[in-house]
Amino acid sequence: MAIFKKKSKTQNLEPELATLRQRVQALETKRQAAEAELTAATEARQLNLIEGSLDDTKTAQMLQDRVNIAASAIVGFEDAISVVQVQIAEIERKLDAERTQAARTAAADTLARDLDSIEKALPLYLDAAQRFADAVEKVGHFHFESGQAGSLVRNVRAQIEVAVGIAAPELRAMVSAIREGSAPIPPRKPEPAPVTVAKPTAGTRRLFSLRPLRWTDAEGRVRHGQQFEDCELTPIAAQRALRLRAVCGLDDPRRRELKGARGGHHVNTNALDLLDLDAEEHSGIRFIDPNDELATERSARIDPVTGVEFVEFRGPARVGQLKVS
């Protein structure tokens, strides 16, 4: 046998509300048409009064009747719209009241279930706490920490029993008050704040510097790297430094031999052989690997900033520049 559920008042009112709203739209369309007709009729009557025969009473009456009919139609549509809008407002009020009551009933039922769970769990907790305190008491007289644990459990057990004894009747009364509307609906439990994931910064590459370096990191800060030390370069700066052979990988044999040869992390930002990786195209330094066949080659250059001429030399495991006097 099929089981038929009784429709709620809300389900009965919603179709009626939709019908009334459609009726208002239809009446509004007809009212707008009547206004257009009234405008046309008024213009026709005015034109007849200005250009037509004033003795033609039949035409004048016909035009006046057209104006009267259109104006009367507008009044009728407006009255009908007002009546239907009142009916819509009344149904909406009933729907709001039913939805509010449904929300109150759901909140009251939820609170009642939560309270049932508390009252059901309380005896189990009190019994478990008592059994734990009794068990700890057997060793608590000679073991300080165990004795303190037993005292703490007994104290908390007594406080919880008293607190629930006071709170339970208040919560039971609140269930009825919420259902009847004399108490507000309890707020929903706040959702945990979403975990904010820090935006990852641009990746860096650790390389071994064969000369003093300067570059701009991903956060726009100017960074300096000491010669013969590891440095964290941005991908673009690393690419330029590798192309100029100003750095090498961490597995390069030169790193084992030269790391720390400058004896500290102090960086001379005014060093003559400082390579600015942000202005690679403006640098006149030609770097020569100290271990290649051209390690003893000398090359002259003019500093693009100061105009001073320097001789750049490369030898095994050393790099330098000499000012030409």
Looking only at the bridges linking them, the beta strands covering 247-248 and 205-209 are antiparallel
**pLDDT score for 80:** 95
Structure tokens at 186: 């309890």
Q: Please tell me whether residues 288 and 220 are part of one structural domain.
A: yes
Q: Please tell me whether residues 40 and 79 are part of one structural domain.
A: yes
Q: Please tell me whether residues 223 and 105 are part of one structural domain.
A: no
Q: Please tell me whether residues 26 and 160 are part of one structural domain.
A: yes
3-state DSSP percent of the chain in helix, strand and coil, to 5: 55, 10, 30
pLDDT confidence band for 281 (50 / 70 / 90):
low
For residue 122, count other CB atoms closer than 10 A to its CB: 15
Any domain includes 275: yes
Summarised one tens digit per residue, pLDDT across range 159-183 is: 999 999 999 999 999 999 999 999 9
Q: Please tell me whether residues 100 and 243 are part of one structural domain.
A: no
Any domain includes 266: yes
Distance of CA 253 to the CA centre of its chain: 49
Q: With CA atoms as reference, report the closest residue to 70 among 44, 43, 29, 31.
A: 31
Q: Please tell me whether residues 162 and 305 are part of one structural domain.
A: no
Indicate the pTM of the whole model. 0.47
Q: Please tell me whether residues 16 and 140 are part of one structural domain.
A: yes
**pLDDT score for 47:** 93
Q: Please tell me whether residues 78 and 172 are part of one structural domain.
A: yes
Any domain includes 198: no
DSSP letter, residue 202: P
Count how many domains the chain has: 2
Range of the domain at 245: 205-323
Q: Which of 176, 192, 226 finishes a domain?
A: 176
Any domain includes 67: yes
Q: Please tell me whether residues 45 and 168 are part of one structural domain.
A: yes
Structure tokens at 80: 């009908």
Structure tokens at 25: 């739209």
The owner of tokens 């044999």 is 253
CA angle 157, 162, 167 (to 5 degrees): 125
Q: Please tell me whether residues 105 and 33 are part of one structural domain.
A: yes
Any domain includes 192: no
Any domain includes 210: yes
Q: With CA atoms as reference, report the closest residue to 94 among 183, 8, 5, 7.
A: 8
pLDDT, mean of residues 149-168: 93
